[in-house]
Amino acid sequence: MIKAGIIGSTGYAGAELARLLYQHPEAEVVWYGSRSYIGEDFSSVYRNLFRMVDAKCLDDNMEALAEEADVIFTATPQGFCASMVNDNILSKTKIIDLSADFRIKDVKVYEKWYKIEHKSPQYIPEAVYGLCEINRKDIPGARILANPGCYTTCSILTLYPLVKEGLVDPDTIIIDAKSGTSGAGRGAKVANLFCEVNENMKAYGVTNHRHTPEIEEQLGYAAGREILLNFTPHLVPMNRGILVTAYANLKDGVTKEQIQEAYEKYYKDEYFIRLLGHGVCAETRWVEGSNFVDIGFQVDPRTKRVVAMGALDNVVKGAAGQAVQNMNLMFGLLENTGLQQLPMFP
């Protein structure tokens, strides 16, 4: 059994990790880390796991946890993992970080967009960006695994084959994305109060959302050069779900058949990517609670653009599910072990 510790287990991403790992046949949680609930029953905070999890919340002492765990998940705010990681911890355990601390290779870019000083830039070069469908071969050997963001996972997977195959002009990409409110975490914030979110929709982070450089970096690797794009997130009154609608100019003569072929080339054998085909719109309700990403597209012959659409559950494939998928790869398990939950509906 893989012994797993969760730092930040009482947040939305951490609690989803607890749910998924409870159902995982090859892993057990040995540490439910928290900051505000130390000493309280984990299942009194998350009663969906009442009578399932019989454990008290512990602190966030990663040194002590490293003695017990084969892998530590840090489902904590930006900056926490980078401020804690050290050689001693890494000599004893692996880290899967759900924050952005090790996602961006250029520390100056991280510090500019996140507006915090990176406390351990020496570990950035070795960290592996854990977008399994694209970086699978690098994941098994990782000591520090940077789990991609929720918007970024959906945006990159939706556009990757089109950029990699040179079917679109990468300088024309516009990503319009929507997220359910759990994407903002459990911490109390006025902007996330019921009356602020319910019956409302709004864009935020326009031209400056911190996921922009992460998407640009990864799609830049696919394009073979630096790219700039527009990414506009929106908050919508749902609990879970990310929907990406991405636009790009097609290169001359590119057909919908070529686009379909590109998606199939990269994803036809991917368990977690469901290709919907031309003319089918991805919907968040069909992936809720699962680790699936649904991708559809439509070519507009009038404007010579493609509109590509992706949907995922932000706390599953966008966070905890992808983190477990990465753990499976790091420990030599089948990638979908413990991750075969079907989407729930209604």
Ligand X SMILES: NC(=O)C1=CN([C@@H]2O[C@H](COP(=O)(O)OP(=O)(O)OC[C@H]3O[C@@H](n4cnc5c(N)ncnc54)[C@H](OP(=O)(O)O)[C@@H]3O)[C@@H](O)[C@H]2O)C=CC1
12 binds, among ligand X, ligand X2W, none (CB under 5 to 8 A by kind): ligand X
44 is written with which tokens?
């009194």
- Smallest distance, ligand X to C-beta of residue 5, A: 13
> Can you tell me the distance from the alpha carbon of 201 to that of 177, in angstroms, rounded to the nearest whole number?
12
x/- map, 26-45, ligand X, by CB under 6 A:
--------xxxx--------
Interface residues with ligand X2W (CB under 6 A) are 99-100, 149-150, 179, 183-184, 211, 233, 235
**Which residues, numbered 8-27, are part of the site for ligand X (CB under 6 A)?**
8-14
- Residue 250 in contact with residue 167, Cβ under 8 Å? yes
From 78, 120, 172, 249, residue interacting with ligand X (rule: CB under 6 A): 78
Which one is catalytic: 150, 154, 195, 281?
Answer: 150
Pick between residue 211 and residue 274 the one whose CB is nearest to ligand X2W: 211
CB of 95 to ligand X2W, least distance (A): 15
150 is an active site residue: yes
290 binds ligand X, rule: CB under 6 A:
no
Q: Rounded distance, CA 177 to CA 169, Å?
A: 20
C-beta of residue 90 within 8 angstroms of C-beta of residue 143: yes
Contact of residue 55 among ligand X2W, ligand X, none (CB under 5-8 Å per partner type) = none
Contacts 24+ apart (CB under 8 A), 75-80: 75/6, 75/7, 75/8, 75/9, 75/11, 75/13, 75/14, 75/17, 75/99, 75/319, 75/320, 75/323, 76/7, 76/8, 76/11, 77/8, 78/114, 78/116, 79/114, 79/116, 79/118, 79/119, 80/7, 80/8
Which parts of this chain interact with ligand X (CB under 6 A)? 8-14, 34-37, 60, 75-78, 80, 98-99, 149-150, 182-183, 185-187, 314-315, 318-319
Give the active site residues: 150
